[in-house]
Amino acid sequence: MEKPNEIIARFSTEGTTDTVKPLGNGLINDTYLVRTAEESAPDYVLQRINHRIFTDIEGLQRNIVAVTSHLRRRLAAEGAADIDRKVLSFIPLRDDPEGRTYYFDGENYWRMSRFIPGAFTYDTVDPHYSRMAGAAFGKFQADLVDIPAQLVETIPDFHNMEFRLHQFRDAIEADAAGRLDSVRPIVDDLLRRAHYMTQAERLHREGLLPKRVCHCDTKVNNMMFDADGNVLCVIDLDTVMPSYIFSDYGDFLRSAANTVAEDSPELDKVDFRMDIFRAFTEGYLTSAAGFLTATEIELLPYAAALFPCMQAVRFLTDYLNGDTYYKTAYPDHNLVRTRNQVRLLECVERNMPEMSRFIESKLAEIANSRP
């Protein structure tokens, strides 16, 4: 493997590298902040892309470049100021006739983007930030409705619940780590919900539910805010791909409305914050109601339940497989995450009727406020 400085030298960056330090806490890629010595040169983010999980790096970077260029054109057309802080820019390789934005050192894939100065991410948000995040993710989807490029699914069937249950059943069958007996009740509890949770796939097959370009990892900490709390941009674009809009709506609430972190073992503290739900939904509907279909809107409460359920299934699958996918800090980490997500799911399920009522009333308000 090449040294960071050698890797950085492959990209057409400006300035000279001063320091390289780990950045963020993603579960999949390794991220570093590259500070340059010169005031005049930007700093950069260097990432090692996990190519065990993202097997089509070429397609992945093509997606990301298509999306960021499209968003950049949109911002320019809107006459937005400070565009370099509102959309990520990826750095091409030096002297590469194909203009590639990733480098393979024989072992690992790397990419670089400009570091956005004065930007902050948060692991928890209040209703005010949630409303802005909702509007921003809704706008992200709205802006990409007319993207001319055909994007690839960077992880095929990523948010396909039928596929996740299939992997789950395989893991149960194999019981590779010998952990099945200890988790039987949770396994049964999740399988009981299989039919309800796979309704999106059935609706899609019947032509009643479209796939649109979505972010597919709308965890709250994948959104950057400026010092005044205004949304700057959406980051972590590896999973931008065609999916149901539920992906973005549901995954944000899964991470932001949980009163505790997704791996907190304190189950009695897990709750689903309806104030966050209301604020996020309001923001989302203001920018997305214009293109959403009635089916998509009606199923938003389902989306809020689907994502803790899918995440519980994914964590438990990994636990049964012996922790081969997610980074873990201790042996039962994936099981603790699973229990946490199941508890969150139960809290969501209790609130679904109220969610539907809230969405209906918001839509009526939006319709009435239109001239």
Stretch that binds ligand GN1, among 15-23, 26-34, 76-84, 171-179 (CB under 6 A): 26-34
Tokens representing 347 are 């809290």
Residue 321's binding partner among ligand GN1, Mg ion, none (Cβ under 5 to 8 angstroms by kind) is none
Residues 214-233 that bind ligand GN1 (CB under 6 A): 217, 219
DSSP secondary structure letter of residue 43: P
Contacts of 280 (CB under 8 A, 6+ apart): 130, 131, 133, 134, 252, 253, 256, 257
In this complex, which beta carbon is closest to ligand GN1, that of residue 75 or of residue 276? 276
Among 15, 26, 59, 92, binds ligand GN1 (CB under 6 A): 26
State yes or no: residue 286 binds ligand GN1 (CB under 6 A). no
Residue from 68, 141, 218, 239 touching ligand GN1 (CB under 6 A): that is 239
Counting contacts by CB under 6 A, is residue 274 touching ligand GN1?
no
Of 296 and 318, nearer to Mg ion (C-beta) is 318
Closest distance of CB 222 from Mg ion, Å: 5
311 touching ligand GN1, by CB under 6 A: yes
**Residues between 171 and 190 with contacts to ligand GN1, criterion CB under 6 A:** none
Alpha-carbon span 284 to 136, nearest angstrom: 7
DSSP E strand stretches across the chain: 17-22, 30-36, 44-49, 103-104, 109-114, 212-214, 223-225, 231-234, 241-243
Sheet holding 103-104, edge to edge: 17-22, 30-36, 44-49, 109-114, 103-104
Cβ nearer to Mg ion, comparing 25 with 293: 25
Which regions of 23-172 does DSSP assign to beta strands (E)? 30-36, 44-49, 103-104, 109-114
Q: How many C-beta atoms lie closer than 10 Å to residue 52's C-beta?
A: 9
Stretch that binds ligand GN1, among 6-14, 25-33, 175-183, 205-213 (CB under 6 A): 25-33
For 348, list phi and psi in degrees, rounded to 5: -60, -45
Question: Stretches 22-30, 144-152, 264-272, 275-283: which one binds ligand GN1 (CB under 6 A)?
Answer: 22-30
Closest distance to ligand GN1 from the beta carbon of 251 (Å): 6
Q: Where do contacts with Mg ion occur on this chain (CB under 5 A)? A: 26, 222, 236
- Region of 24-32, 62-70, 108-116, 125-133 interacting with ligand GN1 (CB under 6 A): 24-32
User: What is the spatial distance between Cα 200 and Cα 336, in angstroms, rounded to a whole number?
Assistant: 27
Write out the two tokens for 252.
Answer: 């944000």
**Which SS3 state, helix, strand or coil, does residue 347 take?**
helix
Could you tell me which of 295, 292, 274 has the C-alpha nearest to residue 366?
A: 292
Given the complex with Mg ion, which of 94 and 327 has the nearer CB atom? 327
**Which C-beta is closer to Mg ion: that of 251 or that of 323?**
251
Interface pick for ligand GN1 out of 20, 53, 191, 297 (rule CB under 6 A)? 53
For residue 218, the SS3 value is: coil
Interface residue list for ligand GN1 (CB under 6 A): 26-28, 53, 217, 219, 236, 239, 262, 311
